[in-house]
Amino acid sequence: MIEEKVKKYCEKHGFIDPVELLVGLTNGVDLRKLNAVYSWVMEFEEEFDEEAEPDAIDWFELKELIKNEAKYSNVSSAESQSAQRTLIQYQHPKKKSVDVKTNLTTTTGVTPLTASEIRRFKRKFDNLV
């Protein structure tokens, strides 16, 4: 099934599951783009102890990032609406209509069943039930 293939591909390459990504975008959050503040804190905790406090220069840099950033990038309402439409189509795909064209040269109508055809149909139908 295609959903399983997409999920395996996402896991293999470290991508966000499309449904999760689209739900995030629908809610106004882009899960692909981590904010600089969040990234800075994670890098600081990796480099130093989790309980360590930033020095004056680090604190100044962090304050500037906090003033200008949030955890995730903002998503415009147009992107959010587009994600909603895509999510709905992804989860509930449209059925394609098929046009059937025939080239009938004869204009024969439908003929009624004969008595023997009715008995044969009844016999076969009764055996199914």
Q: What token pair was written down for 102?
A: 């025939």
Q: What is the pLDDT of residue 78?
A: 81
- Res. 115 pLDDT band, cuts 50 70 90: very high
Convert the pLDDT of each residue in 70-80 to its tens digit: 666 677 778 88
**Cβ atoms of residues 113 and 121 within 8 Å:** yes
| CA-atom Rg of the chain in angstroms | 31
The H-or-E segment that residue 72 falls in is strand 72-74
Domain boundaries, given as residue ranges, for the chain: 1-32+73-94, 36-69
| CA-based nearest residue to 72, from 19, 31, 39 | 31
Per-residue pLDDT reduced to its tens digit, 52-93: 888 888 888 888 887 777 666 677 778 888 888 888 888 887
Tokens 């309980």, residue located: 51
Length of the chain: 129
- Pull the structure tokens for residue 111: 């003929």
Question: What pTM value is reported for the model?
Answer: 0.38
Exposed (0-12), middle (13-18) or buried (19+): which is 22, by Cβ within 10 Å?
Answer: buried
